[in-house]
Amino acid sequence: MIEADQLIPRPVRRELRANPFERGAELGTAVGDLSAFMMTYKFGLDEVLTKVGILREEFTFTHDVNPIEHVKSRLKSPASIAEKVLRKGYGLQPESIRRHLLDIAGVRITCSFISDVYRVADMLTRQQDVKVIRTRDYIRDPKPNGYQSLHLILEIPVFLSDRVELVPVEVQIRTAAMDFWAGLEHKINYKYHGDIPAGLMEELQEAATVAGNLDRKMERLRTELGQRDVVERR
């Protein structure tokens, strides 16, 4: 059994102490059901990683170029889940968490080119047992700070011994340049606790523009190279 102190971070524990009767029952239910609840998200994550792994191996064996460069995955910690749902005013019951949090399980795929990002997304979303719940294209419409990535929420069936669970998994697909920028922005944001100085923010936005220009230039070079190969084969 997981203790409440392990499940809830210190700021949220203070709220629980301030509202013991309001949150106590919810916390007990959340702790008791946590293992089974998190298990389904791990299995959903495993299913997506298997799908990506199969595509990656197929391209390794049957194609000259593999659009998938790197793959990372993560499962939110119980403390992170509890903090987020309480901060947003949701209940701690598994059903409430399942309804409101769609990013508990996540996969990040890094590609070399922008066209590969959409190619990989298409290969995943065309699979018959995958349902697209939400798409947010921050490549087409970058965030104000310059962030670029393609975000998909996919609903994945997990076949258990006595039932089928439909599990949401967030898939982020981006280029190597986008990933490098996002990693740097995350570190800076963490260092300044979300209050990034204006001058530094401007530099980050400029760096995002440079990264985007690099991606587009590399895409043009690859297209030109492909056209030359076609001409040479004639």
Which residues are identified as catalytic?
170
Of residues 39, 70, 41, the one with CA closest to residue 53: 70
- Specify the DSSP class assigned to residue 78: H
Q: Give the side-chain half-sphere CA count within 13 A for 8.
A: 22
The residues facing 70 across adjacent strands are: 110
Rounded Cα–Cα distance for residues 206 and 208 (Å): 5
φ/ψ of residue 216, rounded to 5: -70, -35
Count CB atoms within 10 A of the CB of residue 132. Answer: 14
The residues facing 169 across adjacent strands are: 154
Count CB atoms within 10 A of the CB of residue 12. Answer: 21
φ/ψ of residue 91, rounded to 5: -80, 160
Rounded Cα–Cα distance for residues 91 and 101 (Å): 11
